[in-house]
């Protein structure tokens, strides 16, 4: 029996996704757990796995198209029935872009929607926005051919090829410094390409500034040792990351103005107050670094925070995160302390307003009030903040609250 493969809903707020890559070709069999297709949202690229064995009959949506959740994107069957016979000469026919389903096709007659003006939100696909940035095309001057006038990548490329009456002088593009170098080349994975694109945009478009400080954590280390010694069997061990998350959470609850992000999807931008106390946490996985969001981390008691963070880390390393796991949060904690670095300056994650880079604990001698050397255990911290939302005083106050929680760790045992 032939069945439809539909665009999956990868998160509660997901309404559409970009079909980024087919991993299975028409006529090719697949097994349960095989990756069929890569779907990209504005948050992540997700691999969609088969939940049963079968054969892909045909793809109905080409790569690069934005598709609403629930829309059929391919046809498959469990036994291969309905599949087109292989070509007699044994060569695969060239891939042809499948037309969009009739319900999604643009009308052939009637007036096209007018170009969007200032003050209106530009409806465009993620690939169109990316291509427009690459080609220097102003989306507000285009007429979209998609539903409700949505601008598609083809619209952008067509606009880039149209001659203009008075072209401005264009300088020769600079040759990449590595373009002529010899060596083995490979394409980045979908996740690597997504991370590269998003962080490049964040570093370019967000005005970062940085504050560095050290926290004296002798009491914190002693508390951690005691908590783990007294822990119930089977409960997760409290890590330094958990304690830093708790300190950030308490500081976030005490300064709710920090729980805000900048939304530049409208002309002039808007400030969005989240107020949920969600905290991102960077996790190193075999597929690359990801930063899922710990829900309500600012209000969780320490034992619950440790359990939830440990479960989130396990899902991340097993590749079981959904798009929903990346939604929300104004701040991320990135702990590099296990790699023996003193300080780490981080790039703010797209859609957030700050990130705390955490270094390793160092034993150093500091003079006391009388000038005598005293052995201290210090943790290096660097807060990267968005200058559109923070001034130096506000960012410093937030960082000092985090340090206070780390240096007086009994506060972390209280719920916010």
What proportion of the chain, given as a percentage, has pLDDT over 90?
50
pLDDT band of residue 322 (cuts 50, 70, 90) is confident
Query: Which domain-ending residue is among 104, 137, 152?
Result: 104
Alpha carbon of residue 255 to chain centroid? 25
Separation CA 253–CA 392 (nearest Å):
19
Do 100 and 239 fall into the same domain? no
Residue that has been written with the tokens 């309905």 in this structure: 82
Do 218 and 323 fall into the same domain? yes
Separation CA 81–CA 72 (nearest Å):
18
pTM of the model as a whole: 0.68
Angle between helices 240-254 and 302-317 (to 10 degrees): 120
pLDDT tens per residue across span 187-243: 887 677 778 888 898 999 999 999 999 999 999 999 999 999 998 888 889 999 999
State the residue range of the domain holding 136: 108-162
Q: 208, 242, 339, 387: which one is catalytic? A: 387
Separation CA 132–CA 126 (nearest Å):
10
Do 337 and 319 fall into the same domain? yes
Question: Does residue 208 have an active-site annotation?
Answer: no
pLDDT band of residue 96 (cuts 50, 70, 90) is very low
Is residue 295 predicted with pLDDT exceeding 90? yes
Number of domains the chain contains: 3
**Closest to 251 in 3D by CA, of 345, 327, 330:** 330
Do 124 and 244 fall into the same domain? no
Do 140 and 266 fall into the same domain? no
In this prediction, residue 231 carries a pLDDT of 86
Query: Which domain-ending residue is among 104, 131, 149?
Result: 104
Mean pLDDT of 320-343: 90
Mean pLDDT of 136-149: 76
Q: Long-range contact list for 389-397, CB < 8 A, 24+ apart?
A: 389/260, 389/261, 389/262, 389/271, 389/353, 390/209, 390/258, 390/353, 390/354, 392/209, 392/211, 394/255, 394/257, 394/258, 395/209, 395/211, 395/354, 396/211, 397/255
Residue 171 three-state SS: coil
What proportion of the chain, given as a percentage, has pLDDT over 70?
83
- Residue 304 forms part of a structural domain: yes
């Amino acid at each position: 029996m032939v069945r439809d493969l539909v665009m999956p809903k990868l998160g509660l707020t997901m309404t559409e996704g970009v079909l980024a890559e087919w991993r299975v070709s028409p006529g090719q069999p697949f097994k349960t757990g095989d990756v069929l297709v890569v779907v990209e949202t504005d948050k992540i690229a997700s691999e969609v796995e088969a939940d049963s064995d079968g054969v892909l009959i045909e793809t109905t949506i080409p790569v690069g198209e934005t598709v609403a959740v629930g829309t059929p994107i391919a046809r498959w069957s469990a036994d291969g029935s309905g599949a087109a016979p292989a070509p007699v000469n044994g060569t695969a026919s060239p891939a042809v872009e499948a037309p969009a389903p009739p319900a999604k096709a643009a009308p052939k007659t009637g007036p096209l929607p007018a170009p969007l003006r200032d003050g209106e939100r530009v409806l465009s696909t993620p690939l169109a926005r990316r291509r427009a940035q690459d080609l220097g095309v102003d989306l507000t001057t285009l007429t979209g051919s998609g539903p409700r006038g949505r601008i598609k990548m083809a619209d952008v490329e067509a606009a880039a090829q149209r001659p203009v009456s008075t072209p401005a002088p264009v300088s020769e593009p600079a040759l990449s410094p590595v373009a002529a170098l010899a060596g083995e080349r490979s394409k980045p994975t979908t996740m690597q390409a997504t991370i590269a694109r998003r962080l490049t945009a964040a570093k370019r478009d967000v005005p970062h500034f940085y504050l560095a400080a050290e926290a004296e954590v002798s009491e914190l280390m002693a508390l951690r040792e005691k908590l783990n010694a007294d822990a119930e069997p089977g409960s997760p061990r409290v890590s330094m990351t958990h304690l830093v998350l708790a300190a950030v959470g308490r500081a976030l609850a005490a300064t709710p103005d920090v729980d805000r992000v900048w939304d530049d999807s409208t002309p002039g931008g808007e400030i969005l107050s989240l107020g949920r106390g969600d905290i991102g946490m960077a996790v190193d996985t075999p597929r690359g670094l990801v930063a899922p969001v710990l829900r309500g981390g600012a209000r969780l008691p320490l034992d619950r925070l440790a359990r939830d963070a440990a479960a989130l880390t396990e899902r991340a390393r097993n590749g079981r995160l959904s798009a929903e796991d990346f939604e929300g949060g104004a701040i991320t904690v990135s702990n590099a302390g296990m790699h023996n670095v003193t300080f780490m300056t981080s790039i703010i994650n797209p859609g957030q307003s700050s990130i705390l880079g955490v270094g390793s604990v160092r034993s150093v001698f500091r003079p006391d009030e009388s000038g005598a050397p005293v052995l201290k255990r210090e943790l290096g911290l660097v807060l990267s903040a968005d200058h559109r939302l923070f001034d130096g005083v506000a960012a410093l106050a937030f960082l000092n609250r985090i340090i206070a929680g780390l240096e007086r760790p009994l506060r972390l045992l209280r719920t916010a």
